[in-house]
Chain A
């Protein structure tokens, strides 16, 4: 079962070109995207999140071709994934409402929203500032809230762009354990970018490296 299948995909951002000749991402697996600064890790996640449309090639999500022109179908596919951006922005509201935002967009019942938000806040030790305005948080706290806002969606696919950047070491293990648990218990497909070779090794089943704008799959994962 595949989560994504990219064929002859080419994305362009100004002079930068990202190519994936043949890339298959299996459902229920954890993938680490590695490579030097500016190699295109974020660009790849943007393509996988369906927010950026490649100029060429085919992208399949699950069993369906991604239909960028059919906004209804595109929205339906996007709502099956959750994407943490590299420099996340928190809305000018309290932490709890920030985390609940994506669930409310999906019209989840109020009771379920409360329960799921509470659960993710407990798991990521966010309860002490649940009612604080998100704009008053430190960088590390902001990152944890943004991560909570992504994880609470319990989406089929999680795309995490440097998800532990700026987080204190004591919380990194907590966050990694939660992501792994979601993968183990719910079969969530996880694709994350990282600069840390050790994190890639700890977390991933497979690695994707990007060299000269070309995405390659490797069998580097040693987690299991």
Chain B
């Protein structure tokens, strides 16, 4: 047990001293996850709101697929994107493998179904009179959509926060597509896996504390938005 306590004590020292490598790893995690979540938000929220309004069997099938993809294993996404980006793959000549861009692509694929699927739920719970009311008061198509989005804001924010939580904590995509290159694609989760395998518990635990803190903050935000959307 001693080495665990020792690891905890050392991790607090690492966090307190704000070592450049520690901060760099956290920054890469935040940057890649923010970009992939932002892309998933820009595309997933309008898509979710659009598909939620459709009544066709095709739309229902898409919603079912989105819900299924919410629990997509990260290594499957990693493998899929890897096969496209590797040298032998159809997009191999782009040279994206083991870059932050590849990590963003993989994390986007993870976040999109969550953001879109939860946006569907956020919109499905809205009052059907919102758009008619806006139009009856003189709103054009864009203005009525903006009001619709505004009314769904807490549910949509919860969707975005859930998407961020998913990609920030994943390891499969980052490891397979980023390659865990020090100072470039090494993020919190891949660094933790590496440091643990090296027996460097302190650094791993310090990163784990940051991961847990962010996960806690994300969950608190998610809960707040869910509460306000009811």
Contacts and interface: CB of A to CB of B under 8 A. Distances in A.
B147 interface: yes
Nearest to A150: B137
Interface residues of B, number: 17
Contacts of B127: 89
Interface string B133-173: 11111111101000100110000000000000000000000
A89 B133 contact: yes
B129 interface: yes
A89 B137 contact: no
Contacts, number: 49
Given A89-B127, A89-B130, A105-B143, A51 B136 contact: yes
A131 to B, nearest CB: 17
Contacts of B133: 85, 88-89, 91
Interface residues of A, number: 22
Interface in A147-171: 149-150, 153
B132 interface: yes
A75 interface: yes
A91 B151 contact: yes
Contacts of A153: 137-138
A89 B137 CA distance: 11
A143 interface: no
Contacts of A78: 135, 138
A91 B138 contact: no
Given A89-B130, A91-B151, A83 B136 contact: yes
Contacts of A85: 129, 132-133, 136
Nearest to A72: B140
A116 interface: no
Interface string A90-104: 011100000001100
A71 B142 CA distance: 12
A211 B217 CA distance: 62
Best-surrounded residue of B129, B134, B137, B138 (most CB of chain A within 10 A): B137
B130 A75 contact: no
Contact of B137 (A71, A92, A93, A101): A101
B139 A105 contact: yes
A75 B140 contact: yes
B137 A82 contact: yes
Given A89-B129, A92-B150, A102-B137, 20 more contacts: A71-B140, A75-B138, A75-B140, A82-B138, A85-B129, A85-B133, A87-B129, A88-B133, A89-B127, A89-B130, A91-B130, A91-B133, A91-B150, A91-B151, A92-B151, A93-B150, A101-B137, A101-B147, A105-B143, A153-B138
Interface of B: 127, 129-130, 132-141, 143, 147, 150-151
Closest 5 CB pairs of A and B: A89-B129, A102-B137, A79-B138, A83-B136, A89-B133
24 contacts: A51-B135, A71-B140, A75-B138, A78-B138, A83-B136, A83-B137, A85-B129, A85-B133, A87-B129, A88-B129, A88-B133, A89-B129, A89-B132, A89-B133, A91-B130, A91-B150, A92-B150, A93-B150, A101-B134, A102-B137, A102-B138, A105-B139, A106-B138, A153-B137
